[in-house]
Structure 1
Amino acid sequence: MSYPVRSAQIPQNFVSMTALGAVRATALRDPARKAVVCGDRTLSYGMLVERSEKLRDATITTLGLTKGQNGAIVARNCIEYIEVALGLPDAGVALATVNPRFTPSEIKAVVESAEAKVIFTDAETAPAVRAAGFDPSIRIIEFGKDYEALIAAPPKPESLPVIEEWDVWTIPFTSGTTGLPKGVLLSHRSRLLFGLISAAEFGCFGPDDSFLVVTALAFGGGLAYPLASLASGGWFEILDRFDAKTTLAKLKSGDFTGIFLVPTHFQMIFELPADILATYRRPKIRSIISSAAALPQAMKEKIVDFFGDDVLHELYSSTEMGVVCNLRPRFQLLKDRCVGTPEPHARVSIRREDGSECDPEEVGELWVSSPTLFNGYYNRPEETAQASKDGWVSVGDLAKRDAEGFIYIVDRKKDMVITGGVNVYPREIEEVLVRHPDILEAAVIGLPDERWGERLLTVAVPREGRSLSAADITAFCEGKIASFKIPKELALIDELPRNANGKVLKTELRKHFMSKPA
């Protein structure tokens, strides 16, 4: 389907949605209202706007950057992170958000791919940034004395650039599960609409709401939910790193109405001792949002039992598409391995290889059309064209739709295994394996095989003090999945390789086991 030709005419009273503009609106209503808390520091809306605007002015006058250029931030979670994410784009300078856990060489590669002219960092991350060996023309500004001096009293620009809502706000990077990370161009409009949709869906983004931020701000979801809170006039608290017990204690206090957690966080929570879990069971929380990677059905059952049957929302989303589907709380245990129905404004199409629409229960590639779609990959026109077709975007996920319109993510297209000419989806097998009493976590991959084309390998992390064999896996899976889907080989490792979002890096597993004899 093609869109009609767009008119270039902009209505006379049109006002663009911008990130800092949304915060200014609340500051005008109530400048003293609490906006963000981190440790023993609190910023009101008025203070946040003032400091962000000073950074905007300094970006133009002191740093000499102009609209269309990029900056970068390589830092742990902190209040200054929010100021930079608001102030720099208000000068028309998009912000590349870089994982602070990267090595110096990884930092260098990502920052240079974003063509950043300035780098903001914190004291803990600064040594790695400086060790990257950037060209002296790229200024490195460390939070603390350097940063405070920059925004203390910057000269006022003669004029400010016009910021349109389709201009790039931030450039987070893909998780790199299938190759080198790509810079994702996210507009002000995309992220603010993400926030408005989230407010309607989750009921925890409003002027009387508070959000607990435990995920890294460097990632799309990590920064999107704080912006949603600010855009609605609520407040949020940032933790500089995730700690399971601390997070449960915060939620048990009743001070927060919402939180965003990834599957790895839940796993860390349920690894806590039983007495601690008993203490923090059933905290007073309105909405728990989970995304970034699939929640196994067995984990959903634990979450519902521990937190309650009316709080969990599991999303299907991506950095490129924004939020696409939501499985609402009442369906968590009714719809097995389901990601719900499309969000407002999102259209989902599940297509065959020839582009035609799949029938119900037929597996195909999932495509999305939505106002929250990305602008493209930075300096990656071929990859952008591959992911985009006539206003629709795909990130290579295979899915199916049931007769009631609910969507099920079957697997990554690149993770599908073809063995003996039959399509096998590892995620289906993994859902069975994680219920094995001796398995902590598991991944299934395909390896080349002369006879079958590909053969299945289970890579498992056994629970402490437990032993596993291939025969154990076979016996456990029999009767639960078809015999041709049961992996005949088993490899035990101490920990599955994951990216910072908690997604298993199957490319790394395949590389590691590729040389193993059949």
Structure 2
Amino acid sequence: MNAGSLPQGFRHLTLSSGLRAAAGRDPAKTALILGEARRTYGQVVANVNRTANMLLGLGLAAGEHAAIVSPNSMEYLEIAAGVSDIGAALATLNPKLTPGELADICNDAQARLLFVHRECEASIDPARLETVRRIIWLDSDYPALMAQASDAFSPPAIDEWATFAIPYTSGTTGKPKGVMLPHRSRTLGFLAYASEYGIYSPDDHFLAISPMCHGAGLAYAFASIFMGGTTEIMTRFEPEAVLEAIHAGAVTGVFTVPTHYHAMFGLEPATLERLRGNRLRGIVANAAPLSQPMKEQIVDYFGAGLLNETYGSTEAGVVTNLRPADQLRKTRCVGQPIMGTLLRLLDDEGREVAPGEVGELHSTSPYLFNGYWNKPDQTAEAFRDGFVSVGDMAVRDEEGFVYIVDRKKDMVITGGMNVYPREIETLLDQHAAVDECAVIGVEDPRWGEQLVAYVVAAPGASVSTEALAAYCVEHLAPYKRPKAFRPIDALPRNANGKVLKTALRDLHARDIEEVR
């Protein structure tokens, strides 16, 4: 389909379209806050225009890619909008990458321009960058280039199905893949957020604390200004500072991951009590499952009627949400499909499973990705008849509520029986001595695989192998019981809070080798 065949009244939804509409309503309204700095909608749109003109002046063309390595900032959002407004796409790279990892991803993305925050300088090795024509330092080059660029810019017609961003997967099971996100998926997703969470309106004030290099971190931060609200940005997560910002009373919404709560609730009791109380309308939790005790603690501390626990992926966007009213009613649950989403739970032969049976979760919606950059085979593997799967196994109850059982790749087969470690982790999380845990499968000559639990002790507690083993005897079938319990100071996680089970398997292999 080309632009000439579209209806006369059709308007493409692009990343900046909502932002520009909000500026048209009230250009003097505050759009962005970072510390003491404030930017109005008029100023933000002018900066987006300057960025677009600057990029064109540097030779970046529609269909090409730029990349950014930076902590959260106002400029991050403006650059994302400016790049997309000329029909190019932005690869959002994790500042915690090593120079080699960063160069590999930058080369894979074929980035022509690379925006770098000075704080990330140690991660940049220019000699390894094969496609980058210019590095733009955000503290020096960027302001100078912006000062020379015009703030007059009329965005060309950009197809809403064109790619605007390419975040890279965490790479826990291999080399990271570039996820091509179209304008359509995220802008329609923003509208779904507004309907689902109740924290995205012109009257809302969103606190952005998650890294914008991840799909969700950028999406939830941008959604607020797309809808005409205010986004307050934190460059890095500091638990006490986050609670202070929420307690101050302006913040109405926040997106979180489980590690945020472990840090916040790990503060001194006096600090937590001092900062109790807020004006929140909603909390969104995602990236990894919350244990039921943690959910109860969140509800107790922040208040009832706020917590949404979503399930989704960079590829599929938000898929399901467990709404506040169901948080304590439906345990170990990720809710029901959000607006415009259809689900299928399929067995290995592609047949839909009955309620209560485990199947691989596939979803379709307006929020899907375009595919993996330069990886047609892996893109084809992700799709089945227009539905996308990222390998999660789930069950659905008679009310249509979804329960993620585990990652397909994490399923353990022991003695011919399928075991999903998440079930065991959920049980162990409820033990008073356990703060958090992760269960993996390791090779076993007799059983094929055996289960090993890595356990972080709760504050002031000690992990007793005998006590945990007895607990599992009481609550689990014999084939589901871990054969070993290993204490660990902290679970290895990636920057988005997901437990790196590959790292635990490597740790177990080293421990076995040392014993030998």
TM-score (norm 2): 0.96
> 1:154 deviation in Å?
2.7
Take 1:324 and 1:80, find their aligned partners in 2: how far apart are those partners?
29
Match of 2:195? 200
Please give the alpha-carbon distance, in whole angstroms, between the structure 2 residues aligned to 1:32 and 1:465.
51
Structure 1 counterpart of 2:356, one-letter code = E
- Please tell me whether residue 455 in structure 1 is matched to residue 457 in structure 2: no
- Take 1:21 and 1:210, find their aligned partners in 2: how far apart are those partners? 20
Structure 1 counterpart of 2:43: 47
Contact kept? 2:49, 2:152, Cα under 8 Å: no
Q: How does 1:98-247 map to 2 (within 5 A)?
A: 98-130=93-125, 133-135=128-130, 137-154=132-149, 161-247=156-242
C-alpha deviation, 1:47, in angstroms: 0.7
- Tell me the equivalent position of 1:364: 359
1:481 and 2:506 aligned: no
Residue among 8, 15, 20 paired with 1:12? 8
Name the counterpart of 2:80.
85
What residue number does 1:497 align with? 492
Structure 1 residues 58 and 354: CA distance shift in structure 2, 3 A? same
Contact 1:352–1:358 under 8 Å retained in 2: yes
Q: Note if 1:255 corresponds to 2:250.
A: yes
- In structure 2, distance between residues paired with 1:27 and 1:159: 14
- Is the contact between residue 104 and residue 131 of structure 1 (CA under 8 Å) also seen in structure 2? no
Shift of 1:110: 1.2
DSSP 3-state at the match of 2:22 = helix
Q: CA deviation at 1:135?
A: 4.3
1:512, distance to aligned residue in structure 2 (A): 2.5
* Partner SS state of residue 16, structure 2: helix
Q: 1:425-477: per-residue Cα shift (whole Å, max 9, x none)?
A: 10111111122232222110000111111000011223456443432221122
1:274 aligns with 2:274: no
How far apart, CA to CA, are the structure 2 residues paired with 1:6 and 1:149?
A: 38
Partner of 2:328: 333
Which residue, out of 281, 289, 294, partners 1:286? Answer: 281
Pairs within 5 Å for 1:387-398: 387-398=382-393
State the match for 1:301 in structure 2.
296
> Which residue in the other structure is 1:25 paired with?
21
Distance across 2 between alignment mates of 1:8 and 1:146: 39
Structure 2 unmatched runs, 5+:
none
Residues 166 and 180 of structure 2 are in contact (CA less than 8 Å); yes or no, is this contact kept in structure 1?
yes
- What is the CA–CA distance in structure 1 between the aligned matches of 2:226 and 2:436, rounded to whole Å? 38
Q: Distance in 1 between matches of 2:246 and 2:372?
A: 37
Q: Deviations over 1:484-513 (max 9, x none)?
A: 211021222222110011000111211232
- The one-letter code of the counterpart of 1:401 is R
Distance 2:153 2:274 in 1: 58
* 1:320 is the counterpart of 2:307: no
Does the aligned pair in 2 maintain the 1:174–1:183 contact within 8 Å?
Answer: yes
Question: What amino acid is aligned across from residue 289 of structure 2 in structure 1?
Answer: A
User: Structure 1 pair 355/9, CA: closer, same or farther in 2 (3 Å)?
Assistant: farther
Look up the equivalent residue of 2:116 and give its one-letter code.
T
Where 1:442 maps in the other structure, the secondary structure is strand
Matches of 1:492 and 1:385, distance apart in 2: 41
Equivalent position amino acid for 1:83 in 2: E
SS at match of 1:323: strand
Work out whether residues 49 and 150 of structure 2, in 8 Å CA contact, stay in contact via their aligned partners in 1: no
RMSD (Å), alpha carbons? 2.1
Aligned-pair CA distance for 1:226: 1.9
**Aligned AA (1:147):** Y
Question: For the residues of structure 1 that align with 2:175 and 2:53, how far apart are their CA atoms?
Answer: 34
What is the letter of the counterpart of residue 330 of structure 1? A
TM-score normalised per structure 1: 0.95
* Preserved CA contact (<8 Å) 1:104 1:132: no
CA distance in 2, matches of 1:282, 1:38: 22
CA distance in 2, matches of 1:157, 1:203: 34
For 1:133 and 1:352, locate their aligned partners in 2 and report how far apart those are by CA, in whole Å. Answer: 44
Residues 147-156 or 437-446, more deviating? 147-156
Amino acid corresponding to residue 436 of structure 1 in structure 2: H
Q: Deviations over 1:23-66 (max 9, x none)?
A: 111111111111111122111111111111111011112x1011
Question: Any idea what the Cα deviations from partners look like across 1:233-278, whole Å, max 9, x if unmatched?
Answer: 1011000111111111111111011000001001111111111111
Instruction: Choose which of 256, 265, 269 in structure 1 pairs with 2:260.
Output: 265
Q: Of 79, 92, 99, which residue of structure 2 is paired with 1:97?
A: 92
Alignment partner of 1:409 out of 404, 410, 418: 404
Instruction: Confirm or deny that 1:419 pairs with 2:414.
Output: yes
SS in structure 1 at match of 2:475: coil
CA distance in 2, matches of 1:133, 1:180: 17
Indicate conservation of the 8 Å contact 2:50/2:152, yes or no: no
**Secondary structure of residue in 2 paired with 1:478:** helix
- What is the aligned partner in structure 1 of residue 339 from structure 2? 344
1:34 aligns to what?
A: 30
Q: Which segment drifts farther, 255-264 or 474-483?
A: 474-483
